[in-house]
Structures are given as structure tokens and as C-alpha cells.
Amino acid sequence: MGILEVKGVNKRFGGLKALNDVNLDIQEGSVHAIIGPNGAGKSTLLNCFVGRLEPDTGSVMFDGQSLLGIQPYRINQIGVSRVFQTPEIFADLKLLENVMIPAFARRDGSFKVNGWKSVGEEREIRDEAMTMLAELGMEAKADHVAGQLSRGDKRRLELAMCLVQKPKLLLLDEPTAGMARADTNNTIDLLKQIAKRGITMVVIEHDMHVVFSLADRISVLAQGTVIVEDVPGNIKGNPKVQEAYLGGAHL
Ligand code: ADP
Ligand code: MG
């Protein structure tokens, strides 16, 4: 049994069937990519894992617990972190402050600035945040304002904000979207480092270079249905996958 088990998930938006009986079994410590043409239902599926959407039917189990019907902050507290398509950082705050907020949230359950109870607690959180920035090579920029970072560094900061919460599962929706090649390559290297820590990752991605450099397994979603699940080496040549991508993104 995997760390994330998705069974029979269906989701309709009015007349549109966005997810059609989706099943996934994601192994602990693996990197699992979900690919598929635009509008295939990838983001909808991820939203069902983090309490942003409720499936019409089906189950989503993480580490033996259902993720359905519980608050997003609770999902975060039990070890699931999510990275959005556009980095969600506090642009007006310093890098260090950006990382202190989720470090504090892990203890307290809420996102707030300066909510710590004592100088001692603030120092602990500050140290924790600084250690995380150092691990991701951003120590020297700790006092910079986050809004001034490059796209790649914003993503790096956002990952620091996730990792400081010590997730077991990291969900990434197109982590390299809108990035230049150099930033994309840096982000791939960073995600590989994170995978080495043993953190399970589910990556939605349309950039095949990213998918094939990272994934242990790939599920291909087309019109809400998982049409193939396999190791990367068997994906490109699969006729069903080629058909799903005809006229769309290229493999
Ligand atoms: P992907 O991430 O694979 O590009 P999405 O999950 O965003 O695809 O969308 C799947 C389908 O569901 C698309 O046809 C999209 O227009 C539709 N959709 C997504 N979210 C909503 C919503 N909140 N209301 C209505 N339709 C939606
Ligand atoms: Mg999407």
C-alpha cells in the first residue's frame, strides 16, 4: 500500500466530467509525475488532495488517513505540502521572514507574522528558518526582500517554506512553469535533492525534460481518465500516450 492512495475519484463541473474514476497508488519515497494535455484534469486532481475541491465520489488516503473533508491547514499539519503554479510567497517580506511564517505555522496551525509567544520561541523559529535557507543555498539573501528574487529563486524560497514544515508528501503543480531554461535546470536539481531526502513527491508537469529527469513513475491523464501508468522508459513510445498528445504538447 502506498503513502497516497487514490481510489475511484470522480469530479464533475456541471456537464463536464473533469475526473473519471481516477486511481493512483503512490509509493513512499518515490517521485510520481502526472502528465497530460491542457485541461486533462491534473490541477483538479491535485486540488482534491489538499481540500481545495471535494471529489463527487471516491477516496484519497494519505498515510492511512482520509484527506477528504478536512481543512487545508490540517492537511498541511499531517505532512502534505503543496507548491502552486505561481510561487506563493510574501513579496514584501524578507526571505527569512517568509520561512519563519510556515515554521511557526507548523507549531501553531495558523499563518501569522509575529505570533510567537516569547523571545525564546522567536529565536528557535528564526534559527530553524535560517538553517533551511542555508540548506537551499540562500543564506546570503536572508535579508533580501522576496519580491525582488528571480523566478527560480522565488521557487527555491517557496520550497524552503514547504520543507521547513517537514512534509512527508510534496505536491507540485508545474514547478517550472514560466521559467527560463537555467532556472528550470536549477529547479530540477533542487527537486532531485529533495527527493533524496526521502520526501515523496507528486509532480504535475507539461515540460517533458523535467518529467523524464525526475520521475520514478508516470501517470498520463487525458480527459479526466488515467490512460497509462508506467516507468518513464515506457511512456514516450506508448501509442495511447502519443494519441492523447496529438495536436497538443510534444513528447
Ligand atoms: P489541467 O490542470 O490538466 O490543465 P484542469 O484540472 O485545470 O486541467 O481542468 C480540467 C477541466 O476542468 C478543464 O476543462 C477545465 O476548464 C475544467 N475546470 C477546472 N476547474 C473548474 C471549475 N472550478 N469550474 C468549472 N470547470 C473547471
Ligand atoms: Mg493545471
Q: Which atom of ligand 1 is nearest to the CA of 47?
A: 6
Kindly list the protein residues whose Cβ atom lies closer than 6 A to any atom of ligand 1. 13, 16, 18, 36, 38-44
Report CA 60 to chain centroid distance, whole Å. Answer: 16
Rounded distance between C-alpha atoms, residue 225 and residue 248, angstroms: 17
Pairing mode of beta strands 200-204, 169-173 = parallel
Question: Residue 84 in 3-state DSSP?
Answer: coil
Name the residue at shortest CA distance from atom 6 of ligand 1.
Answer: 41
Q: Which atom of ligand 1 is nearest to the CA of 38?
A: 4
Percent helix, percent strand, percent coil in the chain, to nearest 5:
40, 25, 35
Domains along the chain with CATH numbers: 1-79+167-251 (3.40.50.300), 91-166 (no CATH)
Rounded distance between C-alpha atoms, residue 41 and residue 196, angstroms: 29
* The total number of residues written for the chain in this structure: 251
| pLDDT number for residue 115 | 64
DSSP 16: E
| pLDDT number for residue 210 | 86
Distance 18 CA to ligand 1 centre (A): 6
The per-residue pLDDT for range 173-187, each reduced to its tens digit, is 988 888 888 888 988
Q: Are 71 and 27 in contact (CB under 8 A)?
A: no
Q: Which residues of the chain have pLDDT under 50?
A: none
Pairing mode of beta strands 65-66, 57-62 = antiparallel
| pLDDT number for residue 168 | 96
| pLDDT number for residue 113 | 58
Report CA 185 to chain centroid distance, whole Å. Answer: 17
Q: Which ligand is nearest to the CA of 12?
A: 1
| pLDDT number for residue 233 | 92
Rounded distance between C-alpha atoms, residue 99 and residue 70, angstroms: 25
Name the residue at shortest CA distance from atom 1 of ligand 1.
Answer: 39
| pLDDT number for residue 84 | 74
Name the residue at shortest CA distance from atom 13 of ligand 1.
Answer: 39
